[in-house]
Amino acid sequence: MSIVIAEERLPRELTPFEAVEAAYPGELSRTREALRRTLPVLVECDKELSPYFYRCLRDRLRRDSLRCVYLDGRPDPNAPPMSTPVGLIGTMIAQLRDAVRGAVEQRIVVLPHLDLLTTSSGGLTGEAREVISLLYENPQILWLGFKDPTFMVPRVIENLFPHRESILGVGRDRLAHLVLQRESRKFGRGLNPYRLYKYISGLNAVRLRRLLSSVTGEDYPIDAEPALAQLRTATLSGDLSLPDLDLHRDIGGYDKVKERLQAEILDILTTKETLDDDGEVARIEALIPRGMIFWGPPGTGKTLFAKAMATALGAAVTVVSGPELKSRWVGESEERIRNIFVRARESAPAVIVFDELDSFASARGTYTGSGVEHSMVNQLLTEMDGFRKDELVFVVGTTNFVESLDPALLRPGRFEFHLDIPYPDANDRRAIFEIYDRKLGLGMSERALDYAVRRTADPVEGTGTRYTGDHIQALCRAAARRKWRESKTGPTEIADIEDVLTRYLDRPELTAEEERVVATHEAGHAVCALGCEHAPPIDRISIRGDIGGTLGFVRYADPAHRYVVTRAQLLDSICVLFGGREAEELLLDDLSIGSSDDLDRATGIARALIEQYGMGGDEVGAFRYRSDRAGDVDPMISESTREAIERNVRRILDEQQARARAILSENRPVVVALRDLLVQRKALDREALSHLLREQSDSLGKIKDKVHG
């Protein structure tokens, strides 16, 4: 059955009261029936709606001969003037006292501002303590209370109301009764309630009527987007904003992340927009996850992806800092969460982003704070469980540590969609650089772009962390500032990138002799890597001290095989680790303490070969002597076996040390040339290294085949 409603089936005119009757027939009927059964009722709705809802309800109750007394705090115009003004709350309490103690027959007392009797955090005000006794004093009174969704009332007051009605927005099935014929023409021929509902699901009927009557534009437009955009803008409230961030144009790389987000969320919602069968729409809506976890290292773009998703959906976004939600006042943290959801639902479609979700939603039993975190998690889950399936409100929690989150959040139906956003690889970094190159007008040459991608494979100078999209953006902005300062109009070249990366680094000031030692050490690692068949290709060598904690380094390209590690690869790794030490011994006839970390890593690999992987040879056999978690060999192993393990560890290390010495001795001229070039240039990329090796072609020994290959 088609979901488009013909224009002639829509109403011609509506008063606000008729709109409320049309929007909430079920709520009005249930409230009336509960009051007829002498059950006090608490209605949760916007302040704007409550007087209209009450009047419609009052008209129904009059037909049942039920009398209402409306205590709104307005003074009786016939009463004598008071010498001292008491204000709204004081007048309400006086009216309440008169109603409770003056009643002799059963009647309905209406409290339109019940939430004003409490503080913003749900505790009792001084006046409210008097009110509590009045509310319970006269059993002949039937209470009808109204409260705003953004406030909570204390439990002692809530307990007075066994029947409750919560009204937020309007049901999609009621739109056909709320849109006038002349208003529908602004959105095309016939009313598509599914398309319109996307933008007004959180509006109460009174506000909806006001906004619909204000939409301007031509009748029967070819494109209804301008009219829908007017509604979209008018429904924004609080801290919500409309992002403008294209998933593919404005976010570089991350093809797999984008593909999953597109397939699992965006494509489903796009398909829903094109359907004209309400049964099929309902089936699609049941498939859409409302809670999502975006996890990964800091700076990788988790919030950026949430905003791009919101842009694709035409949704408003509010980003909430998890730590800022916490309050030392009882109930205030929960109230903040409740208010966030109320505003988001009123501004639907909306995306709520809880940044650093783990700051208050960590696994129970792992947090040692005040305990407010558990209440916050419960409030968050309560709000999420209260979503209607037809309203487009999504909750995205971002975290660096998904494993630390409370399991109650991760079960299906809550945060069931998990999206891993890792550090960017080389292809991702290239795409990110290209975006900022275009946006900032850097004009990066192809060589500069290649260099920037390779250079950012190193850890961030001075921190040791890997480069993220945020780091790359900061780098590009720094390059743009440099270009502006120097009034440079040409393309950005390699030297410009390197200058931005290194100008303000606090590097160690090495003497000439110290530079020679570090260069010898790194040249030894590099030449051994060239001489080992299973070592990965070299990407960059540096003696600048531009990685925290090291004076120099050799960076390798990603290996061709990332997931399968063989014994030959591990043995080659040990050989390369010995390269620095052996080069110092060969060329300097001395040793520095710079090899301590190399020796530690080499010994660890040798032990793992024997104790964990069963690759130690016939004497120790294919046996696992140590688990991954244990820090030492199984204590039940005999002393003779321990001695055999130590002998074989030493054998592996001695063999690879001798192998490294042989490679370096055979290629000594290459080691010397590489060392001298490092001393001169401080850093060499892959291209410079290849040029050097071509010049030294006649001196190549064991590394010749690998270099030429």
Residues serving a catalytic function are: 522
DSSP codes of every residue in 154-214: -HHHHTT-SEEEE--S--GGGGGGTS-HHHHGGG-SSB-HHHHHHHHTT--HHHHHHHHHH
Task: Note if the bond before 422 is cis, omega within 30 degrees.
Answer: no
CA nearest neighbour of 144 among 105, 104, 100, 113:
113
CB atoms within 10 A of CB 468: 24
CA–CA separation, 394 vs 384, rounded Å? 9
Number of C-beta neighbours around residue 366 at 10 A: 10
Q: What is the DSSP letter of 263?
A: I
Give the pair of three-digit tokens for residue 621: 């056999």
Question: How many other C-beta atoms lie within 10 A of the C-beta of residue 243?
Answer: 19
The DSSP code for 266 is I
Q: Please give the radius of gyration of the chain, using alpha carbons only, rounded to the nearest integer.
A: 36
Beta-carbon contacts of 455 under 8 Å, excluding residues fewer than 6 positions away, are 497, 498, 501, 540
Are 178 and 25 a contacting pair, CB within 8 Å? no
Contacts (Cβ under 8 Å, ≥6 apart) of 213: 180, 183
The residues, any chain, with a CB within 8 Å of residue 612's CB and separated by 6 or more, are 624, 625, 626, 627, 628
At 684 the three-state DSSP class reads: strand
